[in-house]
Amino acid sequence: MPTRNREGHRRCSLAVFPGSFDPITNGHLDIIGRGLSVFDEVTIAILVNPEKHPLFTVEERVAIIRETFPGEDRVRVDTFSGLLVDYAERVGASVIVRGLRAISDFEFEFQMALMNRRLNPRIETVFMMPAESYSYLSSRLVKEVFQLGGKVRDLVPAVVERRLREKYGSVPPASPPPRRRGRGRVR
């Protein structure tokens, strides 16, 4: 919803939704949808972290997210490195949106929100809860389940499922290797 400043000029509310998005899940989409119901624009900001070894490169994650939101001009995709609050300030966002799935998320998120507030009190963190059906969903679990032959269809956008297939090849059913009997050497 556009707000107006003291002079009556229209001002857009911009929220940054930061994360690794390796890959984006339906839980993230849920939070983005909720963000759009409160803010004019949501910028999905992918952290570029050279110390992490993601499955998808930053470029792949940008492309995946762009493909997930075709023609949605209120959703932007960007990358950042360094401090999140500095990035938010730079792009003119006054809000950081984070999803809270369960109490277990709370401690880390609370710590991060307070540190970000200390670093830049002008940027507010807003927590949003995804639908309960996504409360167990994480990018890490999606990758693990897919790699082991499990279905991820209702957990990620179709483009992610396709990209996972391209990355891992067609995943064999998750059956354990045959057990060797006798005294033959195991290699």
Out of 26, 43, 68, 116, the only residue in the binding site for ligand PNS (CB under 6 A) is 116
Helix axes 158-168, 58-68, angle to 10 degrees: 150
Q: How far is the CB of 9 from ligand PNS (least distance, A)?
A: 31
Overall residue count recorded for the chain in this entry:
187
Q: Which of 28, 61, 98, 143 is catalytic?
A: 28
Which amino acid is present at 153? R
- Cα distances from 101 to residues 95, 151, 158, in angstroms, run 19, 21, 22
Q: How far is the CB of 83 from ligand PNS (least distance, A)?
A: 4
Chain-centroid distance, C-alpha 151: 20
Out of 3, 12, 59, 83, the only residue in the binding site for ligand PNS (CB under 6 A) is 83
Q: Which of 10, 52, 181, 187 is catalytic?
A: 52
Q: Which of 101, 70, 76 is nearest to 15 (CA)?
A: 76
**Is 37 among the catalytic positions?**
no
Task: Please report where in the chains the tokens 């991060």 appear, as a residue.
Answer: 112
Residue nearest to ligand PNS (CB): 19
Write the binding mask 11 to 30 for ligand PNS: x where contact by CB under 6 A, - elsewhere: -------xxx----------
**Is 9 among the catalytic positions?**
no
Residue 102, interface with ligand PNS (CB under 6 A)?
A: no
**Is 52 among the catalytic positions?**
yes
* Contact between 146 and 5 (Cβ < 8 Å): no
Q: How far is the CB of 131 from ligand PNS (least distance, A)?
A: 18
Nearer CB in complex with ligand PNS: 102/174: 102
Nearer CB in complex with ligand PNS: 47/137: 47
Q: What is the size of the binding site for ligand PNS (CB under 6 A)?
A: 9
Q: Which of 95, 107, 111, 122 is nearest to 18 (CA)?
A: 95
The whole-angstrom separation of Cα 115 and Cα 85 is: 10
Longest dimension (CA), the chain: 85
Annotated active-site positions, please? 28, 52, 101, 139
Residue numbers at the binding site for ligand PNS (CB under 6 A): 18-20, 47, 83-84, 112, 115-116
